[in-house]
Structure 1
Amino acid sequence: MDARCSRIPDERRGSAVHYTAIVVGAGFGGIGMGVALKRAGIDDFLILEKENGVGGVWRDNIYPGCNCDVPSHLYSFSFAPYRDRRIRYPGQEQILNYLSGVAADEGLLPHLRVGCPVSAATYLEDQGYWEVITAAGLRLMADVVIFAVGQLHRPQLPEFPGEADFVGPTFHTARWDDRHDLRGLEVAVIGTGSSAAQILPTLAATAARVRVFQRTAHWVLPKPRKDFGHLARAVLALPGGHHLYRQALHYGADTVLAPVMWRGWSARPVEWLARWYLRHAISDPALRAAVTPDYPIGGKRIVLDSEYYPTLAYPHVELVTAPIAKMTKEGLETTDGAQHRADAVVYATGFKAPEFLVPMRVRGRRGVELAARWSEGASAFLGIAIPGFPNLFLLAGPNSFNSAGSNPAMKELQMQYILECLRWRDRVGAAAIEVTEAAMENYQQWLEQAIATTVWPPASSWYRHRSGRVTNPWPASARTYRRMLDSYGPESCFRAASRRRDIDMTEAAASSPPRYLLNDAG
């Protein structure tokens, strides 16, 4: 099967090709949405992927040691659950193979077009559908557009004076260049988040010296063993064992980790564990003080790793806490005047997560630019829909990243909500529907109140837009998210944007979310 973008019929000289739905992105969100559409009886859709294969972050991040910090029994689709009794945390290649297998097994390959970046999407109000333009200039029409591009796919690269002077290779962990052999070299790693923690042990095993440049210390929790023990394997071999384990992981994360985001006593048990692990893993008082965060646990994404701290104590590994002033021909210079030699520089500096849908140009009713609407930070109703943008939906949209559990599970909830919206649209005979301003306003009010109770507002992280607005994480438990989706269905929060037939539609005004949802860990 040739899945290249060029296989889309090119009818630019005539009428454009029309689809019921176009899904943008072929990571967990896009693959899952494709399965949901097929199982709902919608077979007339395309999945457009800008790169040359499925997988999203699991295709892009091929750095040594890349793996997931969520057990794969939880980090997998409910309709295609992970069932390996040997390995708890498979690596990047295994996760990518899993996604590729789901796409093939569920019959998505005929719908998939790779190497097909989308440059623009415009709502044609008179016709009631969307025009999607690819970077190659192909013009496609769709009743519905679903953006499933995720939040962690555009690398964040800091700029330093003198970068052009450095003679060695430099690359981001998400753009790993395996043409460069780093064995026996002096390597600089900039950043101390999850990617840095995962790559450090592998680099330290072969490099002559590794210097880790810490911008901000991260809270670190020990990670369970990669492989299951004999007892766990025996339990998983029992009928229903995999399902029970998956459910235990889900409720455990929602009960133990979700409360970490809230201010006050709820985070204390996990912070105590993190401090105990720090004392246990690092015996050097100076190093321990250097890696102790000065903000509440949960203020940034918690690192789950059992090798990072011990590797920092190796004699040929050095933690540098002074800020980088500039790059030189032979390495980096910090603000204290110290010169740090480096043969290669690895940026483990994260992603431009708050910049949703960039660089695509999206225009809704009356030509409103979504980028202008989001200039002070992205927002969407339940992270899924936007007033003024009919029949446009998001997966992993603003404020729907689950910092304490499974994001594939969050996406599945969103997929089902999108299908519910499409069914309601068909029941009322509308060509397009959109979330009302009233629903969005009430939701935004709840969201801001919920975020104010978390530890995020004071902390600087990829959770926040440059305006200071917290745009990425969900400020409550996954169970709360499910209940809100159930409570605020399309019949009460959406209106008809255009009609297939003459019907009497009144704009529904959504009521404020119940107050009991605030700070609800259950």
Structure 2
Amino acid sequence: MFNSSSNSNKNVRIAIIGTGFGGLGLAIRLKQAGFEQFTLFEKAADVGGVWRDNTYPGAACDVPSHLYSFSFEQELGWKNRYGTSQEIYQYLRHCADKYDIRPHVQFNTEIASAEFDALQGVWHIQSTTGEQFEAEFLVGAVGQLNRPAYPKLKGIENFKGKAFHSARWDHDYDLTGKRVAVIGTGASAIQFVPEIAKQVAHLDVYQRSAPYVIPKPDRVYQPLEKKAFRKLPILQSLDRALQYGHHEIRLLAFTTSLNEMPLVEYLFQRHIRKVVKDGKLRHRLMPDYPIGCKRILISNHWYETLTQPHVDVINTGIREITENGILDTEGNLREVDTIIYGTGFAATEFMAPMQITGLDGRTLKDTWKDGAEAYLGLTVSGFPNFFMLYGPNTNLGHNSIVYMIESQVNYILDAIQTTLQNKLLFTNVRAEVQHEFNQSIQEKMKKTVWAQGCTSWYQTADGKNTNNWPGFTLEYRQRTRRFDVENYTQVSAIS
């Protein structure tokens, strides 16, 4: 437990990089625990993380709003069962304001590097503009989905029309009447494609690998329901608990044999056959890998959009981008005015492009040359007093990442407090502890649908799954309930 009146809490310096759910959640808990010298570094002009950046048409969450929010700060006014990106962004801004976190945020500050000084037990931090800072504890709260990924295509720089990534949407550019090509059919594309199809003259959707898309069980909360949630918050808490239980049990479909997903397979088959009547088109939209191997997507408009006469789905590969269009591997050139990259994020490149240097001059980049790994997704051997939120192997395929983040926040708080109470200069997770933990994670991964041979953003180029947690979130919460200092090398401060 934390002593909020401790004088040591007032002096220790804590640097947090990022102001999404992770950064804000930790900042709020730090403040409640009596810490005062913490700073959040934010490269943008406002808080919000991925929900501030992803403003493309139709952007929304695929986890119910009552569950995709902090347990200690339940928003009672969600319009729909699933929140839009704008609603979630405003929710995070509300949290920053209510808990008075903004005075602790240094906006428009992108961190370039951080180096640990073992003699002083201090992280020396530098921004991209050369500003320098120091902190006893460093927390990376940049998550897994903060850097857009672009495909490596020949001639990508030669295109003379308009081109942008969905995570950096250009709202000043009018798509009305334009010939548009969308490259990618992942989670972002299935949301924005149905929206832009309403205004473009023609739409080419380039699909390398067809996704499994099932109906989204979304609906509008009726005025009577919202009134009931406001009058009796326990009703929303109950709804949240029911949603949590429903999502948690879904893990069984991912971690047992493929035969455990018959219901999802049935929903997919029924959905696509009902909407896509054209057999040839339906064949192009059928995935060629086991269901669940990649992220299962939810949408009520994706397949309907792809059946429209001004929309073409193109399965052939892309040979190159030309000045005025896209040349496919069969030699067909399709001219377009606009290219939108719905190609996701550099999800396996944790903490990049920052250079994080730990003991003996070792960098995270070199340490992770064979794929990122950490103990509990939180700490890395050789990098003392350094923590990550939503780090390696803490992504979920079945539940809310906010629940995982709250578990991690509690662990980090306990770690900082334990370090201070024991008068330690720093703690460093033991290499054998980290190795054993990650061996067990990868062994568990072999028994999941994510190890069935497909490629996805969960994996490195060599096929190592560095992103997902292959267990229940309850198990993770139990393992992070307290800071297990016995698994760390402890270096005492010189008094």
Q: Which residue of 2 aligns with 1:220?
A: 213
Give the AA of the match of 1:281. V
Corresponding residue to 1:484 among 476, 479, 486: 479
How do residues 340-351 of structure 1 correspond to structure 2 at under 5 angstroms? 340-351=334-345
- After TM superposition, the structure 1 stretch with the greater mean CA deviation from structure 2, 197-206 or 76-85, is 76-85
Change (3 A) 1:380 1:398: same
Q: Distance in 2 between matches of 1:366 and 1:284?
A: 62
How do residues 195-344 of structure 1 correspond to structure 2 at under 5 angstroms? 195-229=188-222, 233=226, 236=229, 239=232, 240-257=234-251, 259-344=253-338
Give the AA of the match of 1:380. A
**2:444 matched to 1:450?**
yes
Q: Following TM superposition, by how much is the alpha carbon of 1:431 offset from its aligned partner in structure 2, in angstroms? A: 1.9
Q: Percent identity?
A: 36
Give the AA of the match of 2:328. T
Q: Distance in 1 between matches of 2:476 and 2:268?
A: 27
Q: Which residue of 2 aligns with 1:516?
A: none
Partners of 1:26 and 1:47 within 8 A in 2: yes
Q: Following TM superposition, by how much is the alpha carbon of 1:255 offset from its aligned partner in structure 2, in angstroms? A: 0.5
**2:64 matched to 1:74?**
no
Deviations 1:402-434 (A, max 9, x none): 121111111111000111112222332212112
Q: Which residue of 1 aligns with 2:54?
A: 61
- After TM superposition, the structure 1 stretch with the greater mean CA deviation from structure 2, 336-345 or 40-49, is 336-345
Change (3 A) 1:37 1:226: same
- After TM superposition, the structure 1 stretch with the greater mean CA deviation from structure 2, 423-432 or 201-210, is 423-432
Report the 3-state secondary structure (helix = DSSP H, G, I; strand = E; otherwise coil) of the residue aligned with 1:130.
Answer: strand
Corresponding residue to 1:130 among 107, 116, 123: 123
- After TM superposition, the structure 1 stretch with the greater mean CA deviation from structure 2, 392-401 or 224-233, is 224-233
**2:491 matched to 1:497?**
yes
**2:373 matched to 1:379?**
yes
Gaps of 5+ in 2: 1-10
Q: Distance in 2 between matches of 1:327 and 1:175?
A: 20
Give the AA of the match of 2:21. F
Give the AA of the match of 2:36. D
Q: Give the total of aligned pairs.
A: 483
How do residues 396-407 of structure 1 correspond to structure 2 at under 5 angstroms? 396-407=390-401
Report the 3-state secondary structure (helix = DSSP H, G, I; strand = E; otherwise coil) of the residue aligned with 2:145.
Answer: coil
Partners of 1:172 and 1:348 within 8 A in 2: yes
Report the 3-state secondary structure (helix = DSSP H, G, I; strand = E; otherwise coil) of the residue aligned with 1:449.
Answer: helix
Partners of 1:420 and 1:490 within 8 A in 2: no
Q: Distance in 2 between matches of 1:479 and 1:210?
A: 44
Q: Following TM superposition, by how much is the alpha carbon of 1:90 offset from its aligned partner in structure 2, in angstroms? A: 2.7
Change (3 A) 1:291 1:262: farther
Give the AA of the match of 2:454. A
Q: Distance in 1 between matches of 2:438 and 2:390?
A: 17
CA RMSD in angstroms, aligned pairs only: 1.8
Q: Distance in 2 between matches of 1:86 and 1:250?
A: 19
Q: Following TM superposition, by how much is the alpha carbon of 1:238 offset from its aligned partner in structure 2, in angstroms? A: 6.4
Q: Distance in 2 between matches of 1:85 and 1:429?
A: 45
Partners of 1:213 and 1:321 within 8 A in 2: yes
Partners of 2:57 and 2:195 within 8 A in 1: yes
Deviations 1:258-293 (A, max 9, x none): 533543332232222222222222222222211111
Q: Distance in 1 between matches of 2:171 and 2:78?
A: 31
Change (3 A) 1:198 1:314: same
Q: Distance in 2 between matches of 1:405 and 1:260?
A: 12
Q: Following TM superposition, by how much is the alpha carbon of 1:226 offset from its aligned partner in structure 2, in angstroms? A: 4.0
Partners of 2:252 and 2:260 within 8 A in 1: no
Change (3 A) 1:85 1:373: closer
How do residues 99-178 of structure 1 correspond to structure 2 at under 5 angstroms? 99-178=92-171
Change (3 A) 1:85 1:169: closer
Gaps of 5+ in 1: 1-17, 502-522
Q: Following TM superposition, by how much is the alpha carbon of 1:237 offset from its aligned partner in structure 2, in angstroms? A: 5.7
Partners of 2:76 and 2:226 within 8 A in 1: no
Q: Distance in 2 between matches of 1:162 and 1:119?
A: 30
Deviations 1:325-362 (A, max 9, x none): 11223211111122222110100000111001111111
Partners of 1:261 and 1:455 within 8 A in 2: yes
TM-score (norm 1): 0.89
Q: Distance in 2 between matches of 1:185 and 1:311?
A: 17
Give the AA of the match of 2:132. R
